[in-house]
Amino acid sequence: MRPLRVLRIISRMTVGEAAPQVGALLRGLDPDRFEQRLYTGPVEPGELDYRRLGAADVPIRLLPELRRATRPTDDLRALAALVEAIRRFRPDLVHTHDLRGGLLGRIAAVACRVPLRVHSFHEHPLAERRSPTLTRLALGAEWALARTNHALVAVNARVRDELLAARIGRPAQYTVMPPGVSLPPVPEQAEARRTLGLGGPGPVVAYVGPVTAVKRLDRVLAVARAVRRVVPEARFVVCGTGDRLAATVAAAAADALPVTFLPWRPDVETVYAAADLVLLTSDQEGTPLTLIEAAQAGRPVVATDVGGVAEVVRHGRTGLLCDRHDVDGLCRAVVRLLGDADLRRRMGQAAQTDAREAFGTPRLVAATRDLYHRLALAHGCWIPTYAEPAPALARVP
């Protein structure tokens, strides 16, 4: 008998929370049991292409119609292309992975009467700041589309609870599935600093990720200003790009702050290795892969307590969490860790232990396989059986 046919839809494979998870599933699910296809739109100029930056082995089928919409007819063309793709492949299950892909993909899957439909919320769908009108429209669309899904996957318990509070989906539809991350081996700190051109003996604080409004790099600069007064030898590294990069570079230069800006690197493990701690100052997060990677590299974290951050960082055990409005608290937390090497070591070791248990890629693959298996059995779709159970998802209420 043939494997279960799974068609995945994501609007763009850009560096972020969703693309690495999609890549892990395409690599990890047994091809004898699951025949997978991924449809995605082109990466836009100025965006970081996840496949080009180290994941060229992830197979895709490019739909040019899925490019970013500039007018309503673009969405209609993308919807028609997805309907045609579904009709050609005739999947047993459609799994959508981001906001626009989820909107168009779920409509197409319903129109084609696909037997099983799954959507993943890799972050809160209302995380970006929108006008009240757009927020109401988004809520209405997600409410209606959730009713068409056989399962909804939330990246953490907080996102699930917030979606339920917004009346998006029913509790029984949800599975909480933390991301799966597999960081390559981490080089020695001295070697990593040489590679990045970070000479000198002082401690290094790193930010890794997009340089966008929601990430609030202005807070990173505020921390750098305050830390400079207490730990003058400390240096900061920002690794990433985005629409606020030029403004952030100019602001750091205006105050002569000790901040080194690096373009996005496929070997982000080198940046973590060079750092003594990792800083995250966002207004909103899903389950940030940056913090999981930092933990796997054995680095403690100072972060704002938003989204699913507290499900990755255990305050006082693997890092220090602060209210997102408390910039002084962020500064004090960074100074505290920079001044206590033993505390950094203990927190880094605890973070590494926790991350290996809770956020490994094999866990994500096994949990997804188990979800598909349960759906197929419940709805009368055939799927090959397997003996090994999916491991329990750790630390999810």
pLDDT in tens, 120-154: 998 877 665 567 777 788 888 999 999 999 999 99
* Ordered DSSP codes for 95-125: EE-SHHHHHHHHHHHHHTT-SEEEEEESS-T
Range of the domain at 266: 189-358
In a domain, 138, yes or no: yes
Joined together, the tokens standing for residue 212 give 């966008």
In a domain, 137, yes or no: yes
Same domain, 49 and 158: yes
Q: Supply the pLDDT for residue 68.
A: 83
- Binned at pLDDT 50, 70 and 90, residue 397 comes out as very low
Q: Pick the closest to residue 312 from 331, 329, 289 (CA basis).
A: 289
Q: Supply the pLDDT for residue 388.
A: 47
Distance, in Å, from the CA atom of 36 to the CA atom of 105, rounded to the nearest integer, reads: 15
**259-262, strands of its sheet edge to edge:** 259-262, 235-239, 204-208, 277-280, 301-304, 319-322
Same domain, 19 and 108: yes
Q: Supply the pLDDT for residue 357.
A: 81
- Using the Cα atoms of residue 259, residue 264, residue 265 and residue 270 in order, give the sign of their dihedral: positive
Same domain, 36 and 152: yes
275-320 pLDDT tens trace:
999 999 999 888 899 999 999 999 999 999 998 899 999 999 999 9
Same domain, 258 and 372: no
Asked whether residue 381 carries a pLDDT value surpassing 90, the answer given is no
Same domain, 175 and 214: no
User: Phi, psi (5° rounding) for residue 216?
Assistant: 55, 60
Same domain, 226 and 171: no
Same domain, 216 and 122: no
Joined together, the tokens standing for residue 106 give 């779920």
Q: Supply the pLDDT for residue 304.
A: 98
In a domain, 122, yes or no: yes
Asked whether residue 251 carries a pLDDT value surpassing 70, the answer given is yes
- Binned at pLDDT 50, 70 and 90, residue 382 comes out as low
In 256-340, which ranges are continuous DSSP H helix? 268-274, 289-296, 327-338
Q: Supply the pLDDT for residue 383.
A: 57
Same domain, 171 and 263: no
Distance spanning both ends of the chain, measured CA to CA? 38
Same domain, 107 and 234: no
Q: Supply the pLDDT for residue 384.
A: 53
Q: Supply the pLDDT for residue 2.
A: 79
CATH code, domain carrying 349: 3.40.50.2000
- Binned at pLDDT 50, 70 and 90, residue 52 comes out as confident
Q: Which residues of 324-339 are buried (b: 16+ CB within 10 A; e: fewer)?
A: beebebbbbbbbebbe
Distance, in Å, from the CA atom of 195 to the CA atom of 212, rounded to the nearest integer, reads: 26
